[in-house]
A and B are shown apart, each in its own frame.
Chain A
Amino acid sequence: MTFFITLLLVLAIGSLFVVPTLEDIRQNIWNAEMRYSLKLSLGTGLISTILVMFFALPIGYALSRFHFWGKGFVKTIIDMPIAFPELVLGLCLLLLFGNTPVGKLLSALGLTFVFTKKGIVAAQFFTALPYAIRIMKSTFDYINPRIEFVSRSLGYSMAETFKNISLPLAKNGILASTVISFARCIGTFGTVLILAGGSFMKTEILPITLYLNISYGNMGMALTSGIVLMVVSFIAIFIFEKTEVGL
């Protein structure tokens, strides 16, 4: 059974590489639309990943180490986007950042997310954050809290202990979380489509390129963007497996 399912997956992934010709890929990868899409994907993905990790580290640590009132509720809410369809998450964000007081306030501060590039970052951020938090929480769960206790008893503050002990011990988890977040950000489609829109060469990232070109019937471009996305995911999963930190 395992081998059968694995074989099916290998065939499905393989067909992505077998169907287009090398010439198709070569032409499409240097196409202006593809270059724009790749650049925007990498740029927004990078910014989103930095933001995701900036929040995931302390939230993951707090969920792992501290007991506080409403912790169960917080965990459920943070995990919800994992179970949400991306389109629904995008719709929720569109409503929040649209004509609500929150949206108006952020707009006044220069942070307009609806149908803008900033919206891509927001959509990627909210899609990837739950995964990053879960990895960081399980990473800190694996670290013996007594090592941190001993560090405190030896005279180091909580912040110093986090820097000297927790962070170095969590480095594999941080790497895994960063890589998975980046892959998740690069691959986010539904949330981006609803919040930032799928405008040609404006808010067009790789998954949008794939979607738009499938719609036009331009299979070469669609398959090339699929291959680029697949390569990014493959590298991410490879690094993730090497660091041996599971969700």
Chain B
Amino acid sequence: MNFLGVEDLHIDLGEFHLKGVSFGLNQGDYLMIIGPTGAGKTILLESIVGFWNPQQGRIWLEGAEITHELPERRNIGIVYQDYALIPHFTVAENIAYGLKKRMKRGIDDKVRDIAGALKIDHLLHRKPDTLSGGEQQRVALARALIVEPKLLLMDEPFSALDPRTRRETRRLLLDVLKRRKITVIHISHDLNDAWALANKLAIFRDGVMLQFGPMEDIFRRPKTRFIADFVGASLLDGRVVANDNGHCTVDLGDFCVASIDAADRGNEVLVAIRPEDIIVSTEHPAGISAQNIIETTLHRVVPEGRACFLSLRANETELTVLVTNNALHQLDIAPGDTVYAIIKSANVRIVNQAHEGNVCS
């Protein structure tokens, strides 16, 4: 049995709703939930912690049903985007608040320990409104973690932080979580959070969980175009034209690609290719093991921090490639130039055709 089980959860709060959400997590799992605003992500967290009663469905934690258990009896921590610190308490009082309900002695030592781990021990006597966003976020984390919750829920905890503080807080969180085997559900809009922290991923839209599974699976095999767009993969329509010992060749219209995935000949399929799995060359390579070498034209360059996305076109078919700024500089290419996209067949993933809707596995 799963450590956390959510079974056919339905909640309708008028503006926001959840429709038939089901998934399970093992102890120590780190689930990242992504999806557009209004997708029902926060309601899911708030129903797991016990603030909303579902109209239908059940929630299990450590083998016990908690669907209608009071929030104060669940031992599930929650950290919000706006921190929700108690303004008339000091930092130390905020952190100790949950602990005071559980123990009488040794509170100060525990507060100092967690504050030290999150590097906020010098702020203990300050009031929340005198702290920066990053400091407030770490106080909120300390307050949730100090009571050793069975499950930690985080609703966009890093969204208000600048990139440097976000990286630092992410690192501190990982250090703390490593020492305590806490199961985490984390809502974020930043895929970097997912890569850095999570082992499982769920995509939400309109109150529906579109896809749930291990990170690699969803990043490499997004089931719908919406999910592919969200996780930044190219998802192309194709038909299987050859199937040889489990390896297949898919005709994408303008070119064919080889994949190590199996699919029946004649099937309509979706092919998913990650932007970081494509190598770009200005000349046709010879003597390499990659099975797919596609002649394309560089259509557009979109800068993205220290890297950039290249949009390559072979007639009507478009591939998105991620390269570093250094690599682009060395390639010395400009829109309109001919370039070769090189893709290993192991990086061409066949996804069964799915409708945009509830395709959750």
Contact = CB atoms under 8 A, between A and B. Distances in A.
Interface of A: 67, 144, 146-147, 149-157, 165, 168-169
B77 interface: yes
Contact of A165 (B49, B76, B86, B98): B86
B97 A151 contact: yes
Looking at A153, A165, A168, the one whose CB has the most chain B CB atoms below 10 A away is: A153
**Interface of chain B: mostly helix, strand, loop or mixed:** loop
B101 A156 contact: yes
B283 interface: no
Given A152-B51, A154-B97, A146 B71 contact: no
Looking at A152, A154, A168, the one whose CB has the most chain B CB atoms below 10 A away is: A154
B50 interface: yes
Contacts of A169: 87-88
B51 A149 contact: yes
Looking at B46, B49, B86, the one whose CB has the most chain A CB atoms below 10 A away is: B86
**Interface of chain A: mostly helix, strand, loop or mixed:** helix
B337 to A, nearest CB: 52
Contact of A152 (B72, B80, B143): B72
23 contacts: A67-B13, A146-B80, A146-B82, A146-B84, A147-B85, A149-B46, A150-B78, A150-B80, A151-B97, A152-B51, A152-B71, A153-B49, A153-B71, A153-B76, A153-B144, A153-B149, A154-B98, A155-B75, A155-B102, A155-B147, A156-B72, A156-B101, A168-B88
B88 A149 contact: no
Interface in B79-103: 80, 82, 84-88, 97-98, 101-102
B167 interface: no
Given A146-B82, A146-B84, A149-B51, A157 B70 contact: yes
A155 B84 contact: no
A83 to B, nearest CB: 28
A155 B72 contact: yes
A243 to B, nearest CB: 15
A155 B78 contact: no
B84 A150 contact: yes
A165 B89 CA distance: 10
Nearest to A161: B72
Contacts of A156: 72, 101
Contacts of B51: 149, 152
B19 interface: no
Nearest to B85: A147
